[in-house]
Amino acid sequence: MLLLGCGDNKPKDILTPNEMVQVMEEIYITEEKINRLALNRDSARQVFSIMKERVFAEAAVSDSVFRRSLDYYMERPRELERIFSALVDTLQLREQRTPYRPGQNDLP
């Protein structure tokens, strides 16, 4: 994974760019797993809500800290762009490392 620098003026309760990439990666993977279940929209939202809380718990991050962090980086487009670039790179590496299995229903 790419290492990203942090600004010195960042509030203490804001996730680092690397932490943002890690949490966003897990959220994306979770969302893709739920999409593969082919649930109706309302059910998918309910399942995603539950699973997103698990992602936050495993990352030891609260929903509010993630949201504040996202808001913080949205006000800093260059940093947000680096986060998204790192996220794309991370997801691509993950995909390359995962052997394809026909009929596989679950993402790694």
Contact 23, 61 (CB under 8 A): yes
Question: For position 106, what pLDDT does the model report?
Answer: 52
Q: Which backbone phi and psi does 13 adopt, to 5 degrees?
A: -90, 20
User: What is the rounded distance in angstroms from the CA atom of residue 51 to the CA atom of residue 46?
Assistant: 9
Residue range 81-100: mean pLDDT, rounded? 90
pLDDT digits (tens, 9 = 90+) for 56-88: 999 999 999 999 999 999 999 999 999 999 999
Q: What is the pTM of this model?
A: 0.77
Share above pLDDT 70 across residues of the chain, in percent, rounded to a whole number: 83
User: What is the rounded distance in angstroms from the CA atom of residue 80 to the CA atom of residue 54?
Assistant: 24
Share above pLDDT 90 across residues of the chain, in percent, rounded to a whole number: 70
Looking from the CA of 82 toward its CB, the CA atoms found within 13 Å total 14
